Structures are given as C-alpha cells and as structure tokens.
C-alpha cells in the first residue's frame, strides 16, 4: 500500500548471525562430551543417542551386547594417557551402577561358577 498507513513499514531481512556456529550433523550425532568424577577417577563421558548408535558394542558392566539403535554412553579416562583404545561403550544403567557391582567375569562353559 503506497502512500497509505503502512508506507513506513519495511520488512526485515532474515540474516544469520556470523558468530553463531553452524551445527555439525556428525557432532550432534556423537553427543556432548563432559567429565565425570567418581571413586574410580575422572572419566570423559559422551551420551550416544539412539540415532547415533550405528554399531554393536559389548558393555563391560554386564558383558551383554549394546545393539544398533540403543542409546548408551561412551567413557574413557579423562587424563592425558587415555586414547581411542581406552573408550568403552556402556549401558547407562551399568555405568551408573559400576561402583556398586563388580564387572561380570567371563568364564568358559565348563568353568566352575564359584570363586
């Protein structure tokens, strides 16, 4: 409407802020890393969403498989000595209960169940 009531109004341009970091899809899939301190030391912990869980892993807490599409966490020592080989994939419940129970011992089929 020219020469009318809204001739002072100018639409805004939608601009992206230059300082806003673009969200990387790979980074979003991997999750946010944080450091947790517990009785067994400091651990770097990353939560993996169901969409980010694309492989099968074995949980060291219960010795069962973590299937594809199952949300879980990845933990490794937070000190500078930790590397990619130290990463372990845990069920969330197993990770939270690790100080209350010992890891499951892997035995052969014919090994005795005591001791």
Going from the C-alpha of 2 to that of each of 5, 12, 13, 90, the distances in angstroms are: 8, 18, 20, 65
pLDDT values of the chain reduced to their tens digit, one per residue, 115 residues: 555 666 666 666 666 655 445 555 566 556 677 888 888 888 999 999 998 899 999 999 888 999 999 999 999 988 877 677 888 999 999 999 888 876 555 666 666 655 5
Extents of the domains making up the chain:
25-96
d(CA 95, CA 42): 13
d(CA 115, CA 96): 25
Secondary structure of 69-109 as H, E, C letters: CCCEEEEEECCCCCCHHHCEEECHHHHHCCCCCCCCCCCCC
Whole-prediction pTM value?
0.62
């Amino acid at each position: 409407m020219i020469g009318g009531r809204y001739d002072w109004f100018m639409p805004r341009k939608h601009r992206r802020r230059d300082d806003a970091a673009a969200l990387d899809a790979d980074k979003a899939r991997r999750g946010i890393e944080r450091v947790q301190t517990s009785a067994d030391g400091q651990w770097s912990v990353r939560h993996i969403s169901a969409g980010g869980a694309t492989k099968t892993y074995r949980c060291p807490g219960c010795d069962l498989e973590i299937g594809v599409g199952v949300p879980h966490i990845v933990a490794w020592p937070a000190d500078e000595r930790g590397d990619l080989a130290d990463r372990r994939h845990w069920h969330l419940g197993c990770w939270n209960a690790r100080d209350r129970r010992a890891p499951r011992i892997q035995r052969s089929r014919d090994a005795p169940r005591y001791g």
